[in-house]
Amino acid sequence: MKRLSFLVLILSFVFACSDSNKIQSGDIVFRSATSSSLSEAINNVTQTQKATNYSHIGVCDVVEGTVYIYHSDLGKGVVHEPLEAFMKATDTVKYVADFYRIKNITSNQVENALNRAKTFLGQPYNTTYILEDDGLYCSEYIYEVFKEDTIFELEPMTFKNPENKVFHEGWIKHYEELGIEIPEGKLGCNPNGMANSKHLEFVKSLTTN
């Protein structure tokens, strides 16, 4: 009888570990930097002490076993699309995606966050990265989705290379094209900084073939 109870306990632990590695609704996905100049600019000025290299972020929505991602894409605005589309590789770009779970999050919090995510669908991408401007950039979107739960914090933004304290060429070009000054020091958020949150725990990684 003791052996049977011990076996049941071990099997329960194994299944629990297996479930914990499955992508769940409410999980946060961080995608690696691409080869684009803007992605490179984001990554070069926002890397953390954990040596993360993320330039994009979304939140997972699992529907009948299929994983969808809510995210704000530079070319599409705020969308809800299958994980395969989020991870779709090209001839020149391969992606790595790391999935994190918010510690101690409740099912009600997840439901509320995803309902809030839906309300932003169709909004344009915020190319100025200024919170007060129209649209939502990728990390701004996720910040807004979980704003009520105070998971993520806003911090003064920098567009300077941390090694030489000079504005990255990609950002100089980007804001020259927009015809506005670089919003150095304004409050904002970025994928690398958000990945450093104490409220997150690592779940798994996926890589495009």
Q: pLDDT tens, 135-154?
A: 999 999 999 999 999 899 99
pLDDT digits (tens, 9 = 90+) for 42-59: 445 444 444 458 889 999
Predicted TM-score (pTM) of the model is: 0.82
- The residues of the chain scoring below 50 in pLDDT are 1-18, 36-39, 42-43, 45-51
Q: Which tens digit of pLDDT belongs to each residue from 171-185?
A: 999 999 999 999 999
User: Phi/psi zone of residue 146: left (φ > 0), alpha (ψ -120 to 50 degrees), beta?
Assistant: alpha
Q: What number of other Cβ atoms are within 10 A of residue 12's Cβ? A: 10
**Helix, coil or strand: residue 158:** coil
Q: pLDDT value at position 19?
A: 55
Answer whether 130's CB lies under 8 Å from 183's CB.
yes
Angle at 126 between CA 87 and CA 34, to 5 degrees: 30
